[in-house]
Amino acid sequence: MAADGKAAAETLVSTPYAENGAEVSPDGRWFLYHSNESGVNQVYVRPFPNANGGRWQISTAGGLKAVWAPSGREIVYLDATEALTSVPVETAPAFKSGTPVRILDHRFYNLGPARNYDISRDGQKFLIIKNPRDAAATETPASMIVVLNWLEELKARVP
């Protein structure tokens, strides 16, 4: 807290490298991010808020756009070939990571620095934004209808 009682921003990691994509773990004790410190982007985990308490490299073949699974026992990211990759992790009593495993070998629609996928709350499904060119070649195009003010429309149709 700042002297005026308002929240103050604090730098957790400050190096000459590009660190991006930070996300705090579901239990609030860790954060992940990616850095180009090794010459290629890799995913790392540090304690939160004491970032100087350790650092673990999660990815082994490049890594970007990482996300914690809702359970907090898995980290998912895109490797250097943009394959969706999963790493099991333990966060208590100390941090420990397992071996990365490709779970989906598919190129995603590149939204720049934004993550273009997410994990469902139960950890069983992925929401993925696919490249429209890929979808057009292999699938029938999907569509979505959005109805605004649907309650008013319902009242007009059913008096």
**pLDDT (mean) for 121-126:** 88
pLDDT, position 116? 84
Q: Is residue 37 part of a domain?
A: yes
Cα gap 85→59, rounded to integer Å: 9
Mean per-residue pLDDT, 4-32: 89
Q: Is residue 99 part of a domain?
A: yes
- Per mean pLDDT, which of 86-90, 137-141, 146-150, 153-157 is the most reliable? 86-90
Is residue 6 a part of any domain in this protein?
no
pLDDT at 155: 85
3-state secondary structure of 96: strand
Q: Is residue 76 part of a domain?
A: yes
pLDDT of residue 126: 86
Report the distance separating Cα 43 and Cα 61, nearest Å. Answer: 10
On whether residue 13 sits in a domain, the answer given is no
Domain CATH for 122: 2.120.10.30
pTM (predicted TM-score): 0.77
| Closest residue by Cα to residue 78 from 63, 67, 89 | 63
Q: Write out the residue range of the structural domain in which residue 105 sits.
A: 19-129
The domain total for the chain is 1
Residue 33 lies inside a defined structural domain of this protein = yes
Average pLDDT on 20-29 reads 94
- Phi, psi of 97, rounded to the nearest 5 degrees: -120, 155
Cα separation, 76 vs 58, whole angstroms: 10
Q: Provide mean pLDDT across the span 11-17.
A: 87
Residue 156 within any structural domain of the chain? no
The reply to whether 140 falls in a domain is: no
Q: Indicate the helix (H) or strand (E) that contains 151.
A: helix 150-157
Above 70 in pLDDT, residue 108?
no
CA distance 147 to 132: 24
Q: Percentage of residues in the chain with pLDDT exceeding 90?
A: 50
Nearest to 77 by CA among 99, 57, 59, 96: 59
